[in-house]
Each structure stands twice: as structure tokens, then as C-alpha cells.
Amino acid sequence: MVKLSDLSPESARHLRDKDCPEFETAPFVAGPPLRERRVAIVTTAGLHRRDDKNFDLSDLGYRIIPGDVRLEDLVMTQASVNFDRTGFQQDINVVFPLDRLREMHGLGEIGSIANFHYAFNGAGQLPTAFEPTGREVGRMLKEDGVSAAILVPV
């Protein structure tokens, strides 16, 4: 992780200016025991299948990643020039821990893995700009019966 002091003044100011929203209600709720949960991954790593549209810096959309995807079929078009891709190149589970979920499911530690996972390009936009698509993805997670999501901010 880069330190703010290592960034240009403009980049550091951009990060400091991002608001953390206040929640009027409790943003987290208790769920079933982990061994009964259906788990999905939501990442901001700009991942998608090779045939999907690339992310660009102004992209507020998302890409759907099927639960049965082969990880070698995923690519990253994360638009941030500040993002170090070394970890992703060495082990995609750093930004998309599907192998870990598959292991946990095999051991009976989680109930099931979602049919679909979701990727955003987290670079360049304020978090509030993603609210409409975030709500859309939330509805799809609910329709898939997801009771826990691993949020992987990149």
C-alpha cells in the first residue's frame, strides 16, 4: 500500500477529499452462521472475462463474473495508474478470492458460493457515484440468495 506522502500532492488531495458516507440505519446486520451462508465477491479491481467490455476511467458500471469461472479467464482493466498489478499477476485471489471460497465450501466452512460475483472499476470516481449501480447489484445479490459478500477494495 502506498503512503499518501509518496503520492503527488494532487493525488493525495484527491484521496483525502473522498467522503465516507454516514448511514442513517445500521449498515451491517447479523446473518446466519457462516457454515449456512451463501457468499459472493464484490471487487473494485476492474476484473472481467476476456470477452467482456474493458473498464475505462469513467466507467460506473459493473461486470458480472459467473461463479463457475476459470480464474485464468479473467483479465484486469483497472484504470488507475497508481495501482500495482504485481499481486494480481502472481495470484488473482489477492483481488478475487474465489479459490479460497471454493476451499471453504469444500471444507463445509461456508454454505454455498453465489452463482454470480461482481466487479467494478474503483478508480477515478467518488463512491457516491456508484450508488445506482450498487443498488442494482445489491438487488441481484439478494435474488441469488446471497447472505454474505466479501468486499475487496482495490
- Does the pLDDT value for residue 91 go beyond 90? no
State residue 147's pLDDT score. 95
Backbone angles phi, psi at 69, to 5 degrees: -60, 145
State residue 130's pLDDT score. 86
Q: Which pTM was predicted?
A: 0.80
DSSP code string of 50-75:
TTSPPP-TT---EEEEETT--GGGEE
